[in-house]
Amino acid sequence: MTKYPSFAAVDLGSNSFHLVVAREVDGRLQLLHKEKHRVYLAAGLDEDFVLSEDAIVRALHVLKQFAATLAGFEKKHVEVAATYTLRSCQNLRHFLKQAKAVFPYKINVISGQEEARLIYQGVSNYVHDDNNRLVVDIGGGSTEVIIGKHQSHKLLTSRDVGCVTMSKLYFQDEKLTEKRFKKAIIHAEQYIEPVTAIYQKTGWRSCLGTSGTIKTLSAINDELFASKVLTLDSLRDIQAHLVSAGELKNVHIKALPDERKASIAGGLAILIAAINQLGIEQLEYCDYSLREGLLHELAQNEEFDIRTRTIDSFAEQYTVDEQHAKHICQTLTQFYNAAKPIWHLEEGDLALLKWAVYLHEVGIAINSSGIHKHSAYIVLNSQLPGFTQEQQQQLGALIRFHRKKIKTQDLNELVDAESKPRFSQLLTLMRLAILFHQKRQKTQVPKHEMHISKHNIALKFDSTWLEEHSLFAADLEQEQHYWKSLDIDLSIDTTMHLI
């Protein structure tokens, strides 16, 4: 009997938390189980973007339930994505520390661009179209707008305006007036207007809307006006219906569930603004979104890893010396294999190191002087499809400190205290691999032996060779000094006859 592995995707949204379990059968994903819980996370953000303890408690309660559902799942088969509220909150580390105690799977906080990309992947892998299409997703704290064709996106944007945050601003007391809707729509248009021109220029043939707000508005339109297709006129009619009720408590629509009442006015205002700005003629609801995008990428093998494609594209864009990078990675893999059993490194650590090596010289496009700083700036401030915010930060930090002095203050700005021990281990391996290939000739790599303990890397060289390569010896001595802020020592030993 063929065994089909199961995968799970967890979407920690600003309004709701979702869990979806699926399995891949003959190249297609079969959905096996779904869970959805209202958490109202965005409602717990204050003016300073601090997440309230009440909101954290609600989130932890749901994460405990998800952990029970996922008991027995391998970590590599579970992907967790946190969106607007968690990427925006100032006390994220406080939340993640508490979440780790009840939920054993890594929570990846993703950028708005990455959220938009995954939404499009969820749509494109289930709904096929030979023409450009526009996808709009209105979440609790942000709105994503994407243009793509087939399975490739062309434009991605995430605007920091969502149905929960908008409703808090203009409909907090649940009063529904024409004046408030007008202000809310203008407010939303201000967020969308900066991307209007490029989206209209690119164009699309069809438009799809995803997630709860648009699903609810489509159902309301069907109940009130016998059509699931949304247009500017139909949305204005829904607005008029809400305004006629005066207050949310007077709205009685079967298609509007109680748990969505508090945010529907804000979501309606955003969708009207999007249609106004972008010139959308009609929009249909699509039942696939970010969760399905996560599932799809989980099911892909390494050959189709979007992150690998991203690095390859970056390397081509910045004309990276791929042969040199390949040689460094070969040596780095040897170092990694030596360190893995002692430092308990994981496969993901080697992948991160190789990606950093391929990008560590992109800054030469700016200036060869200070290349480590220029390269890090480019990586930290570019769109890297497939990478979480944490992974992008780690990449940037490895590149920033791959050479020259490691200033403790600068290091602490990019790497938190909890991550520093593992980061230091990876950085030392990368620095040595790059140093070993500084002459950019594979034949010039020194013969050596490496021995690794918990806080030490010991290198042994033939004394004659080291005497003949005094600059390399001096560089090693300099490394010993540079590493003082990493809590890892570098020992250099020489022997007359190294085999």
Q: Is residue 473 part of a domain?
A: no
Which CATH number is 325's domain given? 1.10.3210.10
Q: Is residue 471 part of a domain?
A: no
Q: Which of 177, 138, 170, 180 is nearest to 262 (CA)?
A: 170
Q: Is residue 496 part of a domain?
A: no
- Domain check: are 26 and 120 in the same one? no
Give the predicted TM-score (pTM) of the model.
0.81
Distance CA 20, CA 36 (A): 9
- Domain check: are 152 and 223 in the same one? yes
Q: Could you give the angle at the alpha carbon of 367 between the alpha carbons of 363 and 369, nearest 5°?
A: 100
- Domain check: are 229 and 170 in the same one? yes
Distance CA 496, CA 413 (A): 44
Q: How far is CA 33 from CA 6, 8, 10, 18, 19, in A?
A: 10, 9, 12, 11, 8
Question: Can you give the residue range of the structural domain that contains 76?
Answer: 6-110
Of the candidates 110, 144, 170, which is a domain's last residue?
A: 110
- Domain check: are 158 and 106 in the same one? no
Which CATH number is 56's domain given? 3.30.420.40
- Count of domains forming the chain: 3
Query: What H or E segment, with its residue span, contains residue 81?
Result: strand 78-82
Of the candidates 69, 84, 110, which is a domain's last residue?
A: 110
Of the candidates 258, 289, 320, which is a domain's last residue?
A: 289
Q: Is residue 454 part of a domain?
A: no
Residue type, 475: D
Q: How much is the pLDDT for 2? A: 47
Q: How much is the pLDDT for 440? A: 83
Give phi and psi for 10, each to the nearest 5. -120, 125
- Domain check: are 100 and 117 in the same one? no
Q: How much is the pLDDT for 456? A: 94
- Domain check: are 76 and 197 in the same one? no
Q: How far is CA 426 from CA 17, 102, 394, 456, in A?
A: 34, 28, 10, 13
- Domain check: are 338 and 353 in the same one? yes
Q: Is residue 479 part of a domain?
A: no
Report the mean per-residue pLDDT for the chain. Answer: 91
Residue type, 202: T
Q: Is residue 382 part of a domain?
A: yes
Instruction: Give the residues across from 230 on adjacent strands.
Output: 283
pLDDT tens track, the chain, 499 positions:
446 678 899 999 998 999 999 887 776 778 889 999 999 998 899 989 999 999 999 999 999 999 999 998 988 889 999 999 999 999 999 999 999 999 999 999 999 999 999 999 999 988 888 999 999 999 999 999 999 999 899 999 999 999 999 999 999 999 999 999 999 999 999 999 999 999 999 999 999 999 999 999 999 999 999 999 999 999 999 999 999 999 999 999 999 999 899 999 999 999 999 999 999 999 999 999 999 899 888 877 544 678 888 898 888 888 889 999 999 999 999 999 999 999 999 988 999 999 999 999 999 888 878 899 999 999 999 988 888 888 999 999 999 999 999 988 888 888 888 889 999 999 999 999 999 998 888 777 888 889 999 999 999 988 788 888 888 889 999 999 999 889 899 998 876 555 5
The runs of H, that is alpha helices, within 401-469 are: 408-414, 420-436, 463-468
Q: What is the CA radius of gyration of the chain?
A: 26
Distance CA 490, CA 473 (A): 13
- Domain check: are 67 and 117 in the same one? no
Give the neighbor-by-neighbor strand order of the sheet with 284-286.
152-159, 143-149, 133-138, 206-210, 284-286
Q: Is residue 294 part of a domain?
A: no
- Domain check: are 88 and 138 in the same one? no
How far out from the chain centre does Cα 139 lie?
A: 16
- Domain check: are 340 and 425 in the same one? yes
Q: Which two tokens stand for residue 230?
A: 């949304």
Which CATH number is 181's domain given? 3.30.420.150
Ramachandran region, residue 243 (left: φ > 0; alpha: ψ -120 to 50; beta: rest):
alpha
Query: What H or E segment, with its residue span, contains residue 290?
Result: helix 290-299
- Domain check: are 47 and 157 in the same one? no
- Domain check: are 246 and 345 in the same one? no
